């Protein structure tokens, strides 16, 4: 078996793309999208009709509403291909707006249900800010499952688990980027700070019995992926899925698992708002990457709005 096939025996593989052809090629169980991936997809000729249809069908709608319908259109098509769940992201401008995020999450689920999609097949992606985590807590009580994104620290992961979030997406590659730039070291294997962060979160969840799923995300190379074999889920871009599919060796070895999780020295923490904000503030990397990620998603949403305006 190639490495992708081996990995699928240990971990749920998720496709990190809005490209239907890539999803069909690698047969993942789930798929994740975000504003950047949707923007990338609609710039391709084969996906232009989805954008044009979203605009034509709602001549009097706001650009924000059209983007919501576009996201749902992509999600519905993806769910025709995969057996599992699709992640759809709320507007990053709502990252510090609990009420706005709750309203948007409910609206997106309502659109999916109008399209005949059960809410169990959808994860609403929300930035792991304090306000976003509180929104997820409310949505989860409504039976709306949440994927907490832009997650860079143990403190964020703990708060998400305590809020009952379905899933978190710690960003391996962006953590690696920050430390590489900061130290000049090109980390590899188990020494990679992004890999270490996910392992720490995974072990913490297992030690204290949290049910929130851990899905490693934002990979830069296959070494990072293979170091997290056994994690609940891993969401992987098409280029890295292809590299795994093209490689037979070395054999993929389980690195994470409930029976091998080590929580030695870990103390359970309960974070109120003040403790959460202070813990995040003390982590320079997480603070910078969270802010940077929100800005980037806002910028790409803005570019989508420009494309929509040009078609009206």
Q: How far is CA 195 from the centre of its chain?
A: 16
Q: Which of 259, 238, 215, 226 is CA-nearest to residue 84?
A: 215
Which member of 8, 125, 199, 289 is catalytic? 125
At residue 197's C-alpha, the angle toward residues 191 and 201, to 5°, is 135
- Residue 299 φ/ψ, nearest 5 degrees: -65, -40
Residue with tokens 């994740």: 32
Query: How far is 144 from 140, CA to CA, in rounded Å?
Result: 5
- DSSP code at position 252: P
| Tokens encoding 184 | 């000049």
Query: How far is 291 from 280, CA to CA, in rounded Å?
Result: 11
8 counts as catalytic: no
| Tokens encoding 293 | 């990620």
CB 210 within 8 A of CB 9: no
Active site residues: 125
């Amino acid at each position: 078996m190639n490495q992708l096939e081996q990995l699928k025996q240990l971990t749920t593989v998720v496709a990190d793309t809005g490209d239907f052809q890539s999803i069909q090629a690698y047969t993942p169980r789930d798929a994740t999208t975000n504003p950047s991936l949707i923007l990338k997809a609609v710039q391709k000729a084969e996906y232009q009709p989805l954008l044009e249809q979203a605009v034509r069908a709602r001549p009097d709608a706001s650009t924000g509403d059209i983007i919501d319908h576009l996201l749902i259109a992509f999600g519905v098509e993806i769910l025709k291909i995969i057996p599992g769940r699709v992640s759809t992201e709320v507007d990053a401008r709502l990252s510090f707006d609990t009420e706005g995020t709750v309203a948007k999450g409910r609206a997106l689920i309502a659109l999916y249900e109008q399209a005949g999609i059960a809410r169990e097949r959808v994860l609403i992606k929300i930035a792991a800010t304090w306000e976003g985590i509180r929104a997820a807590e409310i949505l989860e009580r409504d039976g709306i499952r949440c994927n907490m994104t832009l997650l860079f620290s143990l403190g964020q992961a703990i708060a998400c688990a305590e809020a009952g979030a379905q899933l978190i997406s710690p960003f391996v590659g962006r953590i690696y980027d920050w430390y590489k730039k900061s130290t000049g070291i090109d980390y590899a294997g188990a020494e990679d700070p992004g890999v270490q962060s996910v392992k720490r979160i995974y072990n913490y969840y297992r030690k204290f019995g949290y049910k929130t799923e851990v899905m490693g995300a934002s990979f830069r190379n296959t070494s990072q992926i293979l170091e997290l074999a056994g994690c609940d889920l891993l969401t992987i871009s098409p280029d890295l899925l292809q590299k795994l599919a093209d490689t037979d060796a070395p054999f993929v070895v389980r690195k994470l698992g409930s029976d091998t999780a080590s929580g030695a020295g870990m103390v359970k923490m309960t974070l109120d708002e003040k403790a959460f904000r202070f813990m995040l503030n003390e982590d320079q990397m997480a603070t910078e990457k969270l802010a940077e990620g929100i800005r980037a998603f806002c910028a790409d949403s803005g570019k989508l709005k420009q494309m929509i305006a040009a078609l009206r």
